[in-house]
């Protein structure tokens, strides 16, 4: 039994006798290390890494230190947690932000949103499109509250919330949508089906927007993502399909895809490029 236990510890390669806490450390010179904590005092942090062994890092050289609760070791690679696991390109899924976590999302420079996890099941976001930069055009601003309900941990989650906006002007017009979505699967591999009702200036859509999306992790830094909509308004139905991916680069992720509208009014093929970044903001010293 002792031999089996020692072999298991060796196969993991990161478990140490003093601690099973895994951290990601970024130093002031730009290096990033991942390992298990051996010891920490007022001067130094000692971690055990896979390739470099035990490292003693002076605390005054640490730029950030984040505990990795969902780190996975697959073969010789470490799979870091999805930095934006609560949504696809734009549409939310049933998962929520952890309490205290936050991120900034930017899409094509103009779309800006900050999101904060107030608890493990409730988050709120706020954003804007700075159209005032273009000859003082009316600027849309919004808030995004979201409630996440885990039905079966890491297998089935339900999310509900709203996108509530207005144009920042003297005669501000309200717009937005209310939604509900169900997600089957883990944070790294899931599919979601959701419904949303949109409104603008007090008028509600007569039929809901249908959303179907999926995310599949392909490796330590890559994901395949598809986000799709079926929209019916004023007797016309339009389908919007998208396919692309997400790549993790250091502390942020880059989303990229093509969006293809389909309907009776589209006589030719149109593919609209999508490019966005997500930057986690909850760096812990």
Q: Which tens digits make up the pLDDT trace of 223-271?
A: 999 999 999 988 889 999 999 999 988 778 999 999 999 986 777 889 9
Q: What is the pLDDT of residue 8?
A: 37
Q: CB count, 10 Å around CB of 73?
A: 16
3-state secondary structure at position 56:
strand
Q: What is the CA radius of gyration of the chain?
A: 22
Q: What is the pTM of this model?
A: 0.78
Q: For residue range 2-54, list pLDDT tens digits in order.
A: 333 333 333 333 333 345 688 888 888 888 888 888 888 888 899 888 778 88
Domain boundaries, the chain: 2-68, 102-280
Positive or negative CA dihedral for 71, 227, 139, 129? positive
3-state secondary structure at position 262:
strand
Average confidence score pLDDT of the chain: 85
Pairing state between β 209-217 and 222-233: antiparallel
Q: Exposed, middle or buried, 10 (CB in 10 Å: 0-12/13-18/19+)? A: exposed
Q: What percent of the chain has pLDDT over 70?
A: 88
In CATH terms, 2-68 corresponds, of 1.10.3720.10, 2.30.30.100, 3.40.630.10, 3.30.470.20, to: 2.30.30.100
Q: Say yes or no: domain 102-280 is CATH 2.40.160.40.
A: yes
Evaluate if residue 136 carries a pLDDT over 80: no
Pairing state between β 111-117 and 102-107: antiparallel
The CA distances from residue 85 to 79, 80, 154, 172, 185, in Å, are: 13, 11, 12, 33, 12
């Amino acid at each position: 039994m002792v031999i089996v236990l020692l072999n298991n510890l060796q196969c993991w390669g990161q478990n140490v006798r003093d601690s099973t806490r895994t951290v990601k450390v970024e130093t002031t010179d730009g290096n990033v290390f991942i390992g298990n904590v051996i010891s920490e005092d007022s001067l130094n942090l000692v971690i055990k890494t896979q390739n470099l062994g035990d490292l003693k890092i002076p605390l005054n050289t640490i730029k950030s230190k984040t505990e990795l609760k969902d780190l996975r070791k697959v073969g010789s690679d470490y799979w870091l947690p999805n930095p934006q696991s609560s949504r696809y390109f734009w549409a939310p899924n049933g998962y929520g932000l952890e309490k205290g976590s936050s991120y900034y999302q930017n899409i094509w420079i103009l779309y800006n949103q900050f999101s904060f996890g107030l608890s493990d099941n409730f988050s709120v976001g706020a954003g804007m499109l700075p159209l005032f930069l273009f000859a003082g055009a009316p600027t849309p601003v919004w808030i995004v509250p979201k409630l996440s309900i885990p039905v079966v941990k890491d297998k089935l989650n339900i999310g509900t919330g709203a996108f509530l906006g207005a144009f920042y002007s003297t005669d501000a017009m309200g717009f937005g949508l209310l939604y509900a979505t169900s997600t089957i699967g883990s944070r790294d591999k899931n599919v979601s089906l959701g419904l949303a009702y949109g409104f603008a200036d007090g008028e509600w859509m007569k039929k809901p927007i249908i959303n179907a999306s999926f995310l599949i992790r392909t490796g330590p830094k890559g994901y395949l993502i598809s986000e799709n909509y079926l929209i019916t308004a004023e007797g016309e139905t339009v389908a919007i399909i998208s396919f692309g991916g997400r790549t993790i680069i250091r502390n942020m992720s880059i989303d990229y895809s093509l969006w293809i509208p389909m309907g009776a009014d589209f006589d030719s093929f149109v593919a609209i490029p999508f490019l966005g970044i997500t930057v986690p903001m909850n760096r812990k010293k």
